[in-house]
Chains A and B, each alone.
Chain A
Amino acid sequence: MTATSPTRTTGTGGTPAALPAPAPRERLIQLRPVTADEVYPVLGSVAGAIALVWVLYERVLPFTGAFGFWVCSYGMFLILYASITAMRYGPRDVADRLAGVASTSAALFALVVVLGQICYIGFRGWPAITHVNFWTQTMQATGQLQPLTSGGIIQGLVGSLEQLSLATLMAVPLGILAAVFLAEVGGPLGHVVRTIVTAMTGLPEIVAGLFIYATVVLGLGNRQDGFAASLALGVMMLPIVTRGAEVMLRLVPRNLREASYALGASQWRTVWNVVLPTARSGLTTVSVLGMARAVGETAPLLFTSGLNNFMNANPFSGPQTGMPLQIWTFIRITPTATMIDRGFGAGLALLLMVLILFTAARVLGGKAPGELTRRQRRRIARDAGRS
């Protein structure tokens, strides 16, 4: 609740970087971002709301249930907080502070939902993934009622990784090339391409799967395999990567390009040596986030990959299921207790894959264009010292 900081004292919107550097002898006055006047009313309202609602809700009125309790507590908190503020300030400040706590709690809610979801999947998936056989065996010889000490998801892991690699190989280079075309060449054709690609980002996932099924699977003689699945995933990824990469390329400052041209570089030299290296971290983020999106997609696999419970490491022949579809199979087609446990275990494995990709995207990329890593900065300093 530290976010309900004062409005008038930090009125510049917080851009200290834009201020000129102070003379050495002057000392900046540190405005305390959070005052006691802001903290204690919030804490008091929270405590008061929970206590009051507990008395009314659990003891006086005939209600029970955690969900209703927290909803009522939140409403009571807003009322108490508004009244406390209204005792000292005018209606404008009441609205200001209510908006502050409401937006803070919306962000907190998102945090709680994401963490709760991750913890729940982790908690339910834990029993399954602690068995070594879960990572090393297939489901070929395991029936619905057999305990978790038998069977595993290796076929789904292998399928997902191979399909993801194929889809990435197809979608990322082409998407980035198309993005370079949109950002550097453009023209009327670029406008058409951008319009169509933007429209295609809205393509429902299931329709992408259906499209590949009707063209590739039925067109090439009714065979579902990993390659068809990776085509469907690639079709999903292509517009996402293209649009995202174009945005990243447009963030490269124009004067960098102009400096390169002024030094006599040709356009392709400029793109290769200036634009792409500058945008590298952004392009990495876009690609890896696209991969994280693709690895979790179930709908494109439904019609394309086929179902198998045996090991199939060849994406070009025979059905090759992926992790999301494996979960779908576990909990939808054969939902016995152990199968549901396996479903959650596979869910946890999928979650880990997504989290690894996501963390990789944040670590590798996520820097503004031109922002250097520590290593690059060191190298530049070294080079400068040598010359």
Chain B
Amino acid sequence: MAVDVTVSGAPDGDRPRVIRTRLSVADVVFRNGLRLAGILVLAITGLIAIFLIVKASGTLHAVGWRFLTNFQWLLNNNDLGVGALLPDTIIIAAIALIIAVPLALMAALFISEYAPHGLRRPLTGLIDLMAALPSILWAIWGFYWLMPRFIGIGRWVSNNLGFIPFLKVPGQFQPTNFEDSPLLAGLVVSFMVIPIIASISREVFSQAPQGEREAAYALGATRWGMIRSVVLPYARGGMIGAVMLGFGRAMGETVVVAIIVSEAFTITTHPLQDGGNSIAAFIANQAEGSTPVLVAALIAAGLILFIVTLIVNAIAAVIVARSRSGAQTAD
């Protein structure tokens, strides 16, 4: 803790005293030990990124940029890529967000603004519990409980809203056409994204300055008027950041997509129809009988997923840090 204190504006002839604190031996050891732990964490996490790049480089070199656009997965000819997987990953994540964002934001608003004081802690716990429920349980719940109940809805939407092209399920009605759909997977993934978005935005909502709230009430605002003019503008950055984090989580979701969606290697154009894929689910489905060549190709696919997630998270971090709501946490 070597701190230099200089007093400006001292009278002539007075030299400001330099105050130095010498660290004791124990402190030096302590700080260096902590630094070592930091470096270790950095090494472990950095190692993952480096290792992914190194392992993926063979496949990426052999295939080149076509890896991003190739629709095939023919391992032997190096004719492979994530062209069909990446759009599907993003479609499922986008469906999840469309469902999750309004629900999560409204639930967060309820907890931070409307709920009686005694209810806030239990409700926060409920959101935490929702986040802690294992993904495999969401998957079997979605597959065995939600899916049979979902066929009728899918059929109704396809029959009555089918004039919107992507809501139509082509062909004759078959229940199996409506099972295993990316829409259903997106719905289940949305339940896993809701707690992430809700807990972060609740945190940000509750930090909105009390003085401004009271000012809005003093000017005669209703509670919703106060929320619209004080809480939401204050929390905008935090909300966008939370949604982006949820998007990253939704793209990386593995088990739900792997269990619910039946594998298909095409870009999803009709989310109500069965068949679809995502990078994470595709990798999971290849887990049996993997050879080094396959693993290298899978790591390349995983690297693409990781990079996309990283970009989304980085944008989220920048938005949060630049916004007013990130002011307290920016250091």
Q: Known contacts being A198-B317, A296-B132, is A205 close to B107, with CB within 8 Å?
A: no
A208: chain B residues at CB < 8 Å are 48
Query: Of the 9-residue stretches B66-74, B76-84, B171-179, B209-217, which lies at the interface with chain A?
Result: B209-217
Chain B nearest CB from A5 CB (Å) reads 8
Contacts of B252 in A (CB 8 A): 202-207
Is A354 within 8 A of B136, CB to CB? no
Please give, as numbers and ranges, the residues of chain A lying within 8 Å of B23 by CB-CB distance: 266-267
For the complex formed, measure the closest distance between the CB of A367 and the CB atoms of chain B, giving whole angstroms. Answer: 11
CA distance A324 to B136 in the complex (A): 7
Bound state CA distance, A118 and B140, in angstroms?
12
- A235–B306 Cα gap in the complex (Å)? 15
- Tell me which of A19-27, A102-110, A140-148, A374-382 binds B: A102-110
| B1 at interface, CB cutoff 8 A | yes
Question: Which of the segments B11-19, B149-157, B162-170 contacts the partner chain?
Answer: B149-157
B24 within 8 A of A: yes
Contact, CB under 8 Å: B37 / A178: yes
Chain B residues with Cβ under 8 A from A292's Cβ?
Answer: 132
The answer to whether residues A196 and B46 also contact, given A12-B217, A298-B135 and a CB cut-off of 8 A, is: yes
Q: Which of B23, B38, B106, B290 has the most CB of A within 10 A?
A: B38
* Alpha-carbon separation in the docked complex, A344 to B128 (Å): 23
Closest B residue to A98 by beta carbon equals B224
Q: Within the assembled complex, what's the spacing in Å between the Cα atoms of A55 and B178? A: 29
Complex Cα spacing A267 to B141, Å: 51
In the complex, which residues of chain A have a beta carbon less than 8 angstroms from the beta carbon of B65?
none
CB distance A181 to B224 under 8 Å?
no
Is A185 positioned at the interface, with any CB of B under 8 Å from its CB?
yes
Q: In the complex, what's the smallest C-beta–C-beta distance from B301 to chain A, in angstroms?
A: 9
Main secondary structure on B side of the interface with A: helix
Across the interface, do A103 and B41 meet the contact criterion of CB distance under 8 Å? Answer: no
Asked if B114 contacts A7 (CB within 8 A), the reply is no
B140–A204 touching, CB < 8 Å: no
**Contact indicator A96/B222 (Cβ below 8 Å):** yes
CA distance A2 to B114 in the complex (A): 9
In the complex, what residues of B have CB within 8 A of residue A296's CB?
A: 132-137
Interface size class of A (residues with CB under 8 A): 35 or more
A362 within 8 A of B: yes
Question: How many whole Å from B91's CB to the nearest CB in chain A?
Answer: 17
Task: Judge whether B310 is part of the interface by a CB distance below 8 angstroms.
Answer: yes
In the assembled complex, the CB of B110 is this many whole angstroms from the nearest CB of chain A, namely 4
Q: In the complex, which residue of chain B has the Cβ closest to the Cβ of A117?
A: B141
Task: Quote the shortest CB–CB distance from A118 to chain B (angstroms).
Answer: 8
Assess the A177–B37 pair: CB atoms within 8 A. Answer: yes
A114-B126, A120-B145 known; A198 vs B114 contact (CB < 8 Å): no
Q: Quick check: A110 and B103 within 8 Å, CB to CB?
A: yes
Q: Is the CB of A110 within 8 A of B213?
A: no
Say whether A210 contacts B295, CB under 8 Å.
Answer: yes
Is B85 in contact with chain A by the CB < 8 A criterion?
no
Chain A residues with CB below 8 A from B225, complex form: 92, 95-96
| Contacts A2-B116, A13-B214 given; does A331 touch B299 at CB 8 Å | no
The reply to whether the CB of A47 lies closer than 8 angstroms to some CB of chain B is no
Please judge, given known A-B contacts A100-B114, A198-B313, A204-B252, whether A266 and B45 are in contact too, CB under 8 Å.
no
A-B contact count (CB 8 A): 308
Chain A positions within 8 Å of B254 at CB level: 204-206, 298-299, 302
Chain A residues with Cβ under 8 A from B235's Cβ? none
Contacts of B136 on A, CB cut-off 8 Å? Answer: 296, 298, 324, 327-328, 347, 350
Which residue of B114, B140, B224, B255 is within 8 Å of A344 (Cβ)?
A: B140
Shortest CB distance B233–A (Å): 16
In Å, the complex CA distance between A9 and B302 comes to 55
Instruction: For chain B, residues 259 to 311, give those with C-beta under 8 angstroms from any C-beta of chain A.
Output: 259, 280, 283-284, 287, 290, 292, 295, 298-299, 302-303, 305-306, 309-310
From residue A163, how far is it (CB to closest CB) to chain B in Å?
A: 14
CB distance from B93 to the nearest CB of A (A): 11
Whether A256 is near chain B, meaning CB under 8 Å from some CB there, is: no
In angstroms, Cα B24 to Cα A268, docked, is 10
- Expressed in whole angstroms, the Cα–Cα distance for A3 and B121 within the complex equals 15
Question: Is residue B189 within 8 Å, beta carbon to beta carbon, of the partner chain?
Answer: no
Q: Identify the closest chain B residue to A326 (Cβ).
A: B136
CB of A214 within 8 A of CB of B51, answer yes
**B residues within 8 A CB of A235?**
44, 48
Q: A238-B41, A267-B30 are in contact. List 8 more A-B contacts (CB 8 A).
A: A96-B224, A120-B145, A190-B38, A200-B45, A204-B302, A205-B280, A206-B280, A362-B125
Which A residues are within 8 Å of any B CB, using their own CB?
2-5, 7-8, 11-15, 33, 63, 65-68, 92-93, 95-96, 98-100, 102-107, 109-111, 113-114, 117-118, 120-121, 124, 174-175, 177-178, 180-182, 184-185, 189-190, 192-193, 196-208, 210-211, 213-215, 218, 235, 238-239, 242, 266-269, 271, 289, 292-293, 295-299, 302-303, 324, 327-328, 331-332, 340, 343-344, 347, 350-351, 354, 357-358, 362, 366
22 A-B residue pairs with CB within 8 Å:
A12-B214, A95-B222, A100-B224, A103-B114, A111-B123, A114-B130, A117-B191, A121-B140, A174-B37, A178-B37, A197-B45, A202-B249, A202-B313, A207-B52, A210-B295, A211-B48, A214-B295, A289-B128, A295-B134, A296-B137, A299-B135, A344-B144
Give 10 nearest A-B pairs by CB, closest first: A296-B134, A204-B252, A106-B106, A177-B37, A268-B30, A11-B217, A96-B222, A7-B223, A103-B110, A181-B34
